[in-house]
Amino acid sequence: MDRSIMVKWINEGNVSIPIRLIQDYKKLGLNESEVMLLIHFHSFIQRGNSFPTPQLIASQMSLSETECLSVLQSLLKRGFLELTEQSDENNIFYEAFTLSPLWDKLVTLALEENLEETTQDNYEEEQ
Amino acid sequence: MDRSIMVKWINEGNVSIPIRLIQDYKKLGLNESEVMLLIHFHSFIQRGNSFPTPQLIASQMSLSETECLSVLQSLLKRGFLELTEQSDENNIFYEAFTLSPLWDKLVTLALEENLEETTQDNYEEEQ
Amino acid sequence: MDRSIMVKWINEGNVSIPIRLIQDYKKLGLNESEVMLLIHFHSFIQRGNSFPTPQLIASQMSLSETECLSVLQSLLKRGFLELTEQSDENNIFYEAFTLSPLWDKLVTLALEENLEETTQDNYEEEQ
Amino acid sequence: MDRSIMVKWINEGNVSIPIRLIQDYKKLGLNESEVMLLIHFHSFIQRGNSFPTPQLIASQMSLSETECLSVLQSLLKRGFLELTEQSDENNIFYEAFTLSPLWDKLVTLALEENLEETTQDNYEEEQ
């Protein structure tokens, strides 16, 4: 084993995932297969590929391609992932997946929990 | 909504996960529940808590506590996670989970694949 | 070289830094020595050490200890970093550095730029 | 302020930097301006842009464009950064910056320090 394999590892890099996604996916009604599928999308989008094919993602999951597509459709329908149409500088249209709906749900949850804490604090202070 | 909630979000931070774990967990024989349990451990260890209780982790997963413990035991037995005994500067012993066995398996896989590619390249060059 | 050194590297891990800090520190009036000092603090805080000594940080910077302290004091004074008093579950007080003021400035900047874009868009649509 | 600005922030994302780079850049003979320039490159490369123009990077640094180019040339000459020629699937050539030489220096340092520790341990055990 020489150093080059280690350099290759470092170049392949890491994906940064908000702690809140790890902590709160269950509260959003997601199970482990669903959140992992979202993490696969996140990992591609972060590296500049915003349209990974479902086949590619299925190949990295323990689900069959059919199961994977069915999870994907369910996530799109329940509003955790969205397929949008974008245009580049030459006005060429292309499709891109975005996790914005997922982040919006997580932020909404964080806001609600923050509100509860504040209300709780005010209540306790008043006693 | 004021800025403080956003500052709180940023302070909670992110967890960095090697791309290789996302890409290759299936090749290591892990399913989505198993890799998510490992990601939960990773997330705690990275933030300086190397002994998160299984109860705490179960509370963040869609599995029941019993199912979660059973997955955890399976991962320990199959050598993806290890419970080690550490000692601090005052020679007080404490238990700590480590993901070293998981990283070792991933690195071994990367080495094997690299070897195959190199052999393939040599073969093609010789033709 | 064996695999253990690579496993050690992975265990040491990564620090996640908001892209916005890298892109916008200049707009906040920070130079490279200043932003690196903040990144050192961020790196310790993320790993659960919220009171790294200035000596420790100086040892990892190309500045002398005196220069490092002077940069630190300037950052505290200009409101990029704050020293707060926290209490743990046993009501023991301890000091902790927080980067909240830095994130607040970055968020404020993001909000202002977003406002400008929106105003610009509205203006263009009206033409 | 609405949630959309927070979602935008999350989509912009984070850059993952090896802890070792933060801890050890001084040992490699780099100062803060130099390591920040390398972090700018790393941030673009991780997001799929491996040829950010020096002008773009200079615009995000407190250095002038001339100073920035001079730091860049020094880093290329001292072997911390490399400009390589790559070809895509259609055999079109393009230039790409790589930080491989930097990672190689960091890995070499980690190996040397590991060797020293081991030698030290053996020595102490023999006493």
For residue B60, give the nearest of B51, B48, B68 by alpha carbon: B68
What is the pLDDT confidence band of residue A126, given thresholds at 50, 70 and 90?
low
Q: Does D1 touch chain C (CB under 8 A)?
A: yes
Are D20 and C12 inside 8 Å of each other by CB?
A: yes
Q: What is the pLDDT of residue A119?
A: 76
Predicted confidence band of residue D2 (pLDDT cuts 50, 70, 90): confident
For C98-108, the pLDDT digits (tens) are 999 999 999 99
Taking each helix axis from N to C end, the angle separating A3-12 and C3-12, rounded to the nearest 10 degrees, works out to: 30
D8-33 pLDDT per residue, tens: 999 999 999 999 999 999 999 999 99
Using an 8 Å Cβ cutoff, are D37 and D71 in contact?
A: yes
The angle that helices A3-12 and B100-126 make with each other, rounded to 10 degrees, is 110
- A7 in contact with D, Cβ within 8 Å: yes
In chain B, % of residues over pLDDT 90: 81
* Selected residue of D22, D47, D106 to mutate for chain C interface (largest C Cβ count, 10 A): D22
Please check whether residue B43 touches A, CB under 8 A.
Answer: yes
Residue A124 pLDDT more than 90? no
Between A15-29, A49-63, D20-34, D109-123, the lowest mean confidence (pLDDT) is in D109-123
**What ipTM was estimated for this complex?**
0.91
pLDDT at position C126 is: 60
Cβ-contact C54, C68 below 8 angstroms: yes
pLDDT at B124: 63
Q: What is the mean pLDDT of residues C109-121?
A: 83
Candidate from B1, B16, B32 with C-beta closest to A36? B32
Q: For residue B111, what is the nearest residue in chain C, using CA coordinates?
A: C3
**Better-predicted residue by pLDDT, B124 or C75:** C75
Tell me how far apart the alpha carbons of residues C112 and A125 are, in angstroms, rounded to a whole number: 35
Q: Which C residues 79-118 touch D at CB under 8 Å? A: 107, 110-111, 114
Q: Which of D13, D33, D62 has the CB atom closest to C26's CB atom?
A: D62
Average per-residue pLDDT for chain A: 92
Q: Residue D36's pLDDT is what?
A: 98
For residue C3, list chain D residues with Cβ-Cβ distance below 8 A: none
pLDDT surpassing 60 at residue A120 = yes
Which partners does chain C have (≥3 C-beta pairs < 8 Å)? A, B, D
d(CA A7, nearest CA chain D) in Å: 6
Reply yes or no on whether the pLDDT at C121 is more than 90.
no
Mean pLDDT, to the nearest integer, of D76-86?
96
Q: What is the pTM (predicted TM-score) of this model?
A: 0.92
Given CB atoms, is B12 within the 8 Å cutoff of chain A? Answer: yes
- CB contacts < 8 A, B to C, total 54
d(CA C98, CA C84): 7
Q: What is the mean pLDDT of chain C?
A: 92
**Interface contact C12, partner B, CB < 8 A:** no
The predicted structure's pLDDT at residue A115: 81
Q: For residue A86, list its beta bridge partners.
A: A94
The Cα B23–Cα A40 span in angstroms is 8
First-residue to last-residue Cα distance in chain C: 66
CB contact D1 to B (< 8 Å): yes
Distance CA C24, CA C29 (A): 9
Report the gap between the CA of A121 and the closest CA in chain D (Å): 24
CA of A29: which chain B residue's CA is closest?
Answer: B62
Contact C6 A3 (CB under 8 A): no
What confidence tens digit (pLDDT) does each residue in B51-85 have?
A: 999 899 999 999 999 999 999 999 999 999 999 99
pLDDT in tens, C18-49: 999 999 999 999 999 999 999 999 999 999 99
pLDDT at A31 over 90: yes
- The H or E element that residue A127 is part of is none
pLDDT of C1 reads: 57
> Average model confidence (pLDDT) for chain D?
92
pLDDT level of residue D114 (50, 70, 90 thresholds): confident
Mean pLDDT for D115-127 is: 70
Contact assignment for C32 to D62 by CB distance below 8 Å? yes
Chains near D, with 3+ CB pairs < 8 A?
A, B, C
Residue A125 burial (CB < 10 Å; 0-12/13-18/19+)?
A: exposed
Contact between C62 and D12 using a beta-carbon 8 Å cutoff: no
Chain D residue numbers with beta carbons less than 8 Å from the beta carbon of C31 are 62
Q: For chain B, list residues with pLDDT below 70.
A: 1, 121-127
Enumerate residues 6+ apart whose C-beta is below 8 A from B53: none
- Of C100, D90, D15, D47, the closest CA to residue B12 belongs to C100
Model pLDDT, residue B117: 81
pLDDT score for C19: 97
The answer to whether D3 contacts A99, with C-beta atoms less than 8 Å apart, is no
Q: What is the pLDDT of residue B118?
A: 76
Q: What confidence category does residue A36 fall into, taking pLDDT thresholds of 50, 70 and 90?
A: very high
Query: What is d(CA C32, CA D106) in angstroms, rounded to the nearest whole number?
Result: 21
What is the H or E stretch that residue C20 is in? helix C19-24
